[in-house]
Structure 1
Amino acid sequence: MTDRSAPLPRPRSDLTEPPDAVGARPQSDSMERLRDRMLIQVSTARLGYVQAQVDPRRSGLVLCGTDAVKKASALRFREGFTAPLLIDPAVYEVSPATEENPFPYDVEPTLFLDDPLELSLAEQRDAGATLPMTPTGYIRAEDSDALRAAVMRVLELDDPAVIFAAPIDVSWLRDEESTRQLIAYLQMIKGPTAIMLGGQMDPLGRYAKAVNHLRQLVAEVPEAALLRTDLAAFGALASGASFTAFGASSRYRHIVAPGETAQTNKRVPIRSPHVLFPELMAFFLGETIAKRYGGADAPVCFCASCEGNLALDAFTSNRDKLPAAAAAHNVAVLMEWLRTLTSVEPGMARQQWWYDRCRKALDQYDVINTSIRQPGAFKSRPQLDRWALAAPDEASAPRSDSRR
């Protein structure tokens, strides 16, 4: 159901339609290294859980955390990490963007730099980031002034080798008018734009048209990327996003707006790790999977991490090595999906593959619930339902000739 209590972005008559078509944009070797990849977005504390499963030919890392710059430097220059590597300042977690200060990066000036934006970009470059990312504050649903200020400041840099981070409230994708307004702003950016969605629980499941509007955004904004997300990382990549990033933990699969506390299902205490159930294309607590199967045989996992040695009901607590094993399993499964997706021809074929995959997953809920004789035991997430309704069409197919 659509929540009509959420505020909409204020209309701006001068930007409700996108500007004239943008010509070919300058490309860099760094951008080409990121293209068509799905990175793993992870905290430095959990990096060791997942790094071994990241496919260096198709993926890479987005590091988060207060020591992300330091860890990135160590990875790149001491450990010889050669895959794409980004650093997310994640300022949007603690501060909103404002018209006066769209990049609220709290850092001491140096002898050579006193501008927080330029200092952040320089730190990331020095740490070996493939491309630096702007430390943008959270862009609230009604604050088109803050969005405009951020865009104008990035345009002043005149540097296409900078990723403009656009951490937006998902309400921007609520209807056609606000989506067109957002597209108009983002089309002004000369380099790649990393869209990140804010909202509690499952942001893309919140509005009926959010998934289709995200596809529209990806199709019409040159070099649009989608970071800090979940299933949408595949949906956006299939729809023509330049690159995406899947969160290794629930915290990095969406943004909680500054000042808000993350909502959880309080009826289910978190005493076990989140486990990706491949057939259902969803995360469930390991303890929940074990309880649903009870005495029945749970599916044995043959991903590159489990290798047939673990069943999906094995991750029942947060003790010992189980959280690390669950995280490695999750990423290994994601890499399998990524290898399959990127083997499909870009355009309509990829969109069809993703649509078919989502439809098949929905069908599996009844099959699995019937097999364990518990109708409704596993329930699909709203976002999966949305993707399974988003049939591919020619209008939403990426314009490959204008995006390279």
Structure 2
Amino acid sequence: MTDRSAPLPRPRSDLAEPPDAVGLRGRPDGLDILRDRMLLQVSTARLGYVKAQLDEERSGLVLCGDDAVQKASALRFKEGYIGALLIDPAVYQVSAATEENPFPCDVQPTLFLDDPLELSLAEQRDAGVTLPMTPTGYIRAEDSDALRAAVIRLLELDDPTVIFAAPIDVSWLRDEESTRQLIAYLRKIKGPKAIMLGGQMDPLSRYAKAVGHLKQLVEELPDAALLRTDLAAFGALAAGAAFTAFGASSTYRHIIAPGEKPKTSGGGFPTSPHVLFPELMAFFLGQKIAKRYGGADVPVCFCGSCKGDLALDVFTSNSGELQAAAAAHNIAVLMEWLRTLIAAEPGIARQQWWYDRCRTALDQYSLINASVRNPRAFEPPEQLKRWARTEPSTVGTPQTADADRRR
């Protein structure tokens, strides 16, 4: 029985042998290379902060930004990077998908190609990506016409090596009916499907059943992936996602719908970096951690970046050095969790690992708050609470889930 009063153990870095890296060089099947990985979704500007902590055998990169194609090409062909590599065109940030134009990317035609979708895919392939990703516009709530048009266009392309990006408003996961509709459309696509969730703050906290429906989506949809996300990257991978991508910064952990301004919990621009508190499995501003601890003993971090030399209260400003150190700390902790997850057998063992970890982290809040003599010093994120309520015994195969719904 798990002792939830005990602190989370520091996972060893050698818990799992890395997958065969030969495929990264030969690249016979891009999806095989990506499978079981949690990639890091990062802007080209911040790549230098985190690349040293990346576990290239179990992770990889999803590059974002206006110069993502150029940077990917430089990484692959000049710097000799052989790891898993994707480019997210992120058209969904500026344009919504419509029935008339589900892929509203702005790419200049060439002598040989004038279709924006095919041009974008060719551009990514030329940059050396593991697999190219569609430049899909944002799929708004209940806009089944836009989703249908995107699926039909990809079926016409008839290329299973293309990742279909599905940047959906989280309200698609609001209830069973819309979730089933989403699954039905995406099932028509033979290749991998990369789900990305849109909504302010933490999209999965908006609807009570969103986490459960996300798990249902992953379990019932072949080769489903979850990109541009947060803790859900681990939850989805444990549930059987083909691969996932964790956002290196808060910007890349969800989508803001085109035309909306991002909301923040603090109401303004943060003056310190977001720091991953390992025992609490949540991000907090560095200034908040320092303030909450005050004169109390601060946990020293032994991740692969901090190595016992730094405590969690040092990341108190956005100066270049501290921001880079916080980013390196965050990724080092995530990579340690990933190694531990991948060491577990796929299926129930991974789901049990994730469930136990979330439950243990949730119990740590009262203990740590007591240690700093402030019962509300740190509040658990709503999403963590919901993952902690998802017991592996309630998770069935798609066939079991179908049977349960028929009862």
Give your verdict on TM over 0.5: yes
Paired AA for residue 326 in structure 2: A
Deviation at 1:105, TM superposition (A): 0.3
Q: Given that residues 347 and 398 in structure 1 are in contact (C-alpha distance below 8 angstroms), is that contact kept between their aligned partners in structure 2?
A: no
Aligned to 2:24: none
Aligned to 1:376: 376
1:2-401 equivalences under 5 Å are 29-267=29-267, 269-393=269-393, 395-397=395-397
1: CA distance between counterparts of 2:390 and 2:34? 26
Deviation at 1:236, TM superposition (A): 0.1
2: CA distance between counterparts of 1:398 and 1:275? 37
1:228-271 superposed Cα distances (whole Å, 9 cap, x missing partner): 00000000000000000000000000000000000012456510
Paired AA for residue 278 in structure 1: P
Deviation at 1:96, TM superposition (A): 0.1
Paired AA for residue 86 in structure 2: L
Paired AA for residue 276 in structure 2: L
1: CA distance between counterparts of 2:398 and 2:190? 18
Paired AA for residue 264 in structure 1: T
Paired AA for residue 205 in structure 1: S
1:9-32 superposed Cα distances (whole Å, 9 cap, x missing partner): xxxxxxxxxxxxxxxxxx962110
1: CA distance between counterparts of 2:268 and 2:94? 27
Aligned to 2:21: none
2: CA distance between counterparts of 1:270 and 1:297? 25
Paired AA for residue 232 in structure 1: A
Task: Look up the SS of the partner of 2:128 in the other structure.
Answer: coil
Which residues of structure 1 form unaligned runs of 5+? Answer: 1-26, 400-404
Paired AA for residue 381 in structure 1: P
1:90-145 superposed Cα distances (whole Å, 9 cap, x missing partner): 00000000000000001111111000000000000000000000000000002000
Deviation at 1:398, TM superposition (A): 7.4
Over the aligned positions, Cα root-mean-square deviation in angstroms equals: 1.2
Deviation at 1:393, TM superposition (A): 2.9
Query: Which segment is superposed worse, 388-397 or 174-183?
Result: 388-397
Deviation at 1:298, TM superposition (A): 1.0
Q: Given that residues 28 and 161 in structure 1 are in contact (C-alpha distance below 8 angstroms), is that contact kept between their aligned partners in structure 2?
A: no
Deviation at 1:392, TM superposition (A): 1.2
Paired AA for residue 240 in structure 2: G
2: CA distance between counterparts of 1:269 and 1:321? 19
1: CA distance between counterparts of 2:35 and 2:287? 37
Task: Look up the SS of the partner of 2:38 in the other structure.
Answer: strand
1:279-306 superposed Cα distances (whole Å, 9 cap, x missing partner): 0000000000000000112100000000
1: CA distance between counterparts of 2:320 and 2:67? 25
2: CA distance between counterparts of 1:187 and 1:65? 30
1: CA distance between counterparts of 2:395 and 2:382? 24
Per the normalisation by structure 2, the TM-score is: 0.90
1:162-188 superposed Cα distances (whole Å, 9 cap, x missing partner): 000000000000000000000000100
1: CA distance between counterparts of 2:174 and 2:332? 33
Task: Look up the SS of the partner of 1:393 in the other structure.
Answer: helix
Task: Look up the SS of the partner of 1:166 in the other structure.
Answer: strand
Aligned CA distance change for structure 1 residues 260 and 267 (closer, same or farther; 3 Å): closer
2: CA distance between counterparts of 1:353 and 1:76? 35
Deviation at 1:337, TM superposition (A): 0.1
2: CA distance between counterparts of 1:145 and 1:338? 37
Paired AA for residue 233 in structure 1: A
Q: Given that residues 162 and 191 in structure 2 are in contact (C-alpha distance below 8 angstroms), is that contact kept between their aligned partners in structure 1?
A: yes
Deviation at 1:190, TM superposition (A): 0.8
Paired AA for residue 76 in structure 2: R
Q: Given that residues 120 and 135 in structure 2 are in contact (C-alpha distance below 8 angstroms), is that contact kept between their aligned partners in structure 1?
A: yes
Aligned CA distance change for structure 1 residues 28 and 170 (closer, same or farther; 3 Å): farther
Aligned CA distance change for structure 1 residues 152 and 338 (closer, same or farther; 3 Å): same
Paired AA for residue 342 in structure 1: I
Deviation at 1:396, TM superposition (A): 3.3
Task: Look up the SS of the partner of 2:327 in the other structure.
Answer: helix
Aligned to 2:7: none
1: CA distance between counterparts of 2:271 and 2:321? 14
Which residues of structure 2 form unaligned runs of 5+? Answer: 1-26, 400-407
1:25-74 superposed Cα distances (whole Å, 9 cap, x missing partner): xx962110000000000000000000011101100000000000000000
Task: Look up the SS of the partner of 1:396 in the other structure.
Answer: coil
Aligned to 1:22: none
Task: Look up the SS of the partner of 1:119 in the other structure.
Answer: helix
